[in-house]
Structure 1
Amino acid sequence: MYPIVRREKLADKIYLMDVKAPRVAQYCEPGQFVIVKIDEEGERIPLTICDYDREAGTITIVFQTVGASTERMAYLQEGDAFQDFVGPLGCASDLIDEDIEELKKKKILFVAGGVGTAPVYPQVKWLHEHGVDCDVIMGSKTKDLLILVDQMKEVATNLYVTTDDGSYGFHGMGTNQLQELWDAGKRYDHCVAIGPMIMMKFVCKLTKELGIPTVVSMNPIMVDGTGMCGACRLIVGGEVKFACVDGPEFDGHQVDFDQAMKRQAQYKTEEGRAMLKLQEGDTHHGGCGNCQ
């Protein structure tokens, strides 16, 4: 069992938990994720690692209630425990494998949308700890849905907060803020965008026009997290990829967002899954074409 040692409500329907999981905390890196399960009957829920403490052996997760399983999670309190807490899964951020001195020469920008702020935070924190400057644009629909603002202020070189309704910070979306910064003469060599697929799509559309290489963290439906179920199948650069084992980070200018969003909607229904199986043929399950 994996006990919850801290629980906090960050905003409406958004919760933070520190979970005792020493093995995961020992080996995880920014950009990776875990799959949690409340009990034997529970659904497997993939969640990006928001933070970790190797000494304390804890992993910080942030989630938004969107269905029955996450609603059940919201009822858990300090002292309760998850039956399963599997990870670290996926590939770590490419940034942590780059030469630190070369990273220091780059002008790096993160664009976080909604709960996407949670997976952005550990990457920005890691860069800050290694003396690498980076700017962050983080936004939400309204002030009441903003999360981790104070924590992000501590690690970002410049933090730009946006709200769609203008209730806090810049009035507009992250793309509007980026365009304004660009028009004012700010330039970036690298961008990382994390948030809803539609938000990442439009960030990538803008950064492609501006000539900024962009990485996105894809969050399609996952089931097993090992590439066997095929649920998180994506098309990247015309090739079949799986977010759980090939990602979750990909070249945003190569991702077929329209196909990913359409597939996500279809996968939620039995009829839709049957149609995808027919359309995708050998690449539907597992992606290797040889699965029986």
Structure 2
Amino acid sequence: MYKIQKAEKLADKIFLMDVEAPRVARHCQPGQFVIVKMDEKGERIPLTICDYDREAGTVTIVFQIVGASTDKMAELKEGDYFRDFTGPLGCASEFVEEDLEELKNKKILFVAGGVGAAPVYPQVKWMHERGIDVDVIVGSKTKEMLILEKEMEAVAGNLYVCTDDGSYGHHGMVTSMIEKLVGEGKKYDRCVAIGPMIMMKFVCLLTKKLEIPTIVSMNPIMVDGTGMCGACRLQVGDEIKFACVDGPEFDGHLVDFDQAMKRQLMYKTEEGRAILKLQEGDTHHGGCGNCGGDN
């Protein structure tokens, strides 16, 4: 059992929890995720790690209500428990293994859309702790939907906030802010974009034109989290990848976002899953490719 040390509502349908999970906290890195399960019969829910405290043995998760399971999870309070809290899963962000001196000489831009601010935060914090200043763009539909602004401001070199409706910060989408910064003479060696798939798609279309290498996190398409269900199968260049076991981060200029979004819609129905399994054959699942994950 994993005790919830803190439960907080960040915005409408968006919640933060600090969970006592010492073994996960000891080993997790930015970019990885956990799978939580409320009780023995509960659904397995993959969630990106928002923060961690190795000394306190806690891991911070942020989630948005998108269905019955997350709606039920939002009712959990401080002192309640998760039945399972499995992780860390997935691959850490690639910069964790890079030479620090080389990283310090690069100009990196992080772009977070909506709840994507949660997985962006630990990456920016990791950079800050190692003396690397990065620019961060955080976008949301409205001021009320903006999350983790103060936390991000404390670790970002420069923070730029955008709202679609202009109720706070820059009036416009994150792509317009990227164009504005580049137009003002900013030069970036790399971009990391995390948020809704449609946002990541248009960020990548822009950064490809601007010749800025871009990493995206495909955590929005994960379901099972272990490569067995086939939900997160995606085309990356000439290769078939699975977000949960090969990622969740990939070269955004190689990801086929249109195919991924189409699969995401099809996967929601039993008929759609059957069609995908028939069309994709042995490549439908990760790992062995023949595990029958959605049977």
Band of TM-score, shorter chain: over 0.9
Q: 1:84 to 1:287 in 2, by over 3 A?
A: closer
Structure 2 counterparts to residues 220-239 of structure 1, below 5 A? 220-239=220-239
Structure 2 counterparts to residues 3-152 of structure 1, below 5 A? 3-152=3-152
1:183 matches 2:172: no
State the Cα RMSD in Å.
1.1
SS of 1:186's equivalent in the other structure is coil
One-letter amino acid of the structure 2 residue matched with residue 257 of structure 1: F
Equivalents in 2 of 1:290, 1:41: separation in Å? 25
Identity of aligned residues (%): 78
1:107/1:190 contact within 8 Å kept: yes
SS of 2:216's equivalent in the other structure is strand
1:120/1:194 contact within 8 Å kept: yes
Name the counterpart of 2:285: 285
Deviation string, structure 1 residues 236-287 (Cα, Å, up to 9, x no partner)? 0121100011000000000000000000010000000011011111211236
SS of 1:167's equivalent in the other structure is coil
Deviates more, 1:222-231 or 1:30-39: 222-231
1:33/1:87 contact within 8 Å kept: yes
How far off its partner does 1:222 sit? 2.9
How far off its partner does 1:219 sit? 2.1
Name the counterpart of 2:173: 173
One-letter amino acid of the structure 2 residue matched with residue 74 of structure 1: A
How far off its partner does 1:231 sit? 1.8
Equivalents in 2 of 1:72, 1:212: separation in Å? 41
2:48/2:219 contact within 8 Å kept: no
- Runs of 4+ that moved beyond 4 A: 287-292
2:196/2:220 contact within 8 Å kept: no
1:175/1:206 contact within 8 Å kept: yes
SS of 2:69's equivalent in the other structure is helix
Equivalents in 2 of 1:102, 1:182: separation in Å? 22
How far off its partner does 1:230 sit? 1.8
Normalising by structure 2, we get a TM-score of 0.97
1:240/1:287 contact within 8 Å kept: no
1:34/1:48 contact within 8 Å kept: yes
Equivalents in 2 of 1:255, 1:240: separation in Å? 10
Q: 1:290 to 1:81 in 2, by over 3 A?
A: closer
1:220/1:243 contact within 8 Å kept: no
